[in-house]
Amino acid sequence: MEYYELHPDNPQMRYINKAIEVLKDGGVIIYPTDTVYGFGCDIYNKEALERIYNIKNEPFSKLYSFIIHDFKDIANYAKVSDFAYKHMRKLLPGPYTFVLPAAKEVPKKLWTKRKQVGIRIPDHQIALMLARELGHPIVSTSVTNRKGENLFDPLEIRTVFNAQVDLMLASGHLEGKPSSIVDLSGEEVEIIREGAGDLSVFMA
């Protein structure tokens, strides 16, 4: 595994570019978000996505998030109702994953049977820069151990996954909770997971 330490607010562009090269070559990376460290790969690379499922020992049916760099880009991958837009506009970027109906742009090779997608716009420069420089979303899921527990220490993560991942961008010890998952695919709000972020706005 290639390993680089980045400043969280002013990431070194040369390391971002190295990660982009790995993603474009079908590799798997680990990178920081505004909540926890995540595994990431190119949305259009099925083999890389399968590697992440195998690393996490999870079924291919499990929904992973799309990291998107800009609110305007969401419509390319998800259908956003006025109801969903009203809520999302107030909270993004931030520590939330919003479940929405999938748009036609979603790669059919990867998501043939999938009618929903999880959309993330993290409030973290490194994650946003990766999605922006790649030019399309990164498939992402949190870094966990075999017990399903989140790992926050970059040195521990490096040790555990050194032989399974191609590159890691480290940015210090993260102590956050995973993102809150909010389903806005229907006409009512459904809280799927209470994690980071204020959810009181949905309970008013």
Report the C-alpha gap between 147 and 105 in whole angstroms.
Answer: 34
Q: For the whole model, what pTM was predicted?
A: 0.91
Q: What percent of the chain has pLDDT over 70?
A: 95
Report the C-alpha gap between 129 and 123 in whole angstroms.
Answer: 11
Domain segments of the chain: what residues? Answer: 2-202
Can you give the pLDDT at residue 108?
66
Can you give the pLDDT at residue 112?
55
Q: How confident is the model at residue 109 (pLDDT cuts 50, 70, 90)?
A: low
List, for residues 89-107, the tens digit of each pLDDT value.
889 999 999 999 988 767 6
Can you give the pLDDT at residue 148?
83
Q: How confident is the model at residue 111 (pLDDT cuts 50, 70, 90)?
A: low
Cis peptide before 8 (omega within 30 of 0): no
Q: How confident is the model at residue 2 (pLDDT cuts 50, 70, 90)?
A: very high
Q: Is the model's pLDDT at 160 over the cut of 70?
A: yes
Q: Edge to edge, what strands does the sheet with 96-101 contain?
A: 2-5, 167-170, 29-32, 37-42, 138-142, 65-67, 116-120, 96-101, 180-183, 190-193
List, for residues 66-81, the tens digit of each pLDDT value.
999 988 889 888 999 9
Report the C-alpha gap between 189 and 187 in whole angstroms.
Answer: 7
Can you give the pLDDT at residue 125?
94
| Range scoring the smallest mean pLDDT among 10-14, 47-51, 151-155, 198-202 | 198-202
Q: What percent of the chain has pLDDT over 90?
A: 59
Mean pLDDT confidence for 185-202:
87
Angle at which helix 13-24 crosses helix 125-134, to 10 degrees, equals 50
Q: Running DSSP on this structure, what letter comes out for residue 80?
A: -
Can you give the pLDDT at residue 66?
92
Which CATH code of 2.60.40.420, 2.40.40.20, 3.90.870.10, 3.30.360.10 fits the domain covering 2-202?
3.90.870.10
* C-alpha radius of gyration, the chain, whole number: 16
Which of the two residues, 124 and 147, has the higher pLDDT score?
124
Average pLDDT score, the chain = 90
List, for residues 15-63, the tens digit of each pLDDT value.
999 999 999 999 999 999 999 999 999 988 989 999 999 999 888 878 8
For tokens 């991958």, the residue is: 77
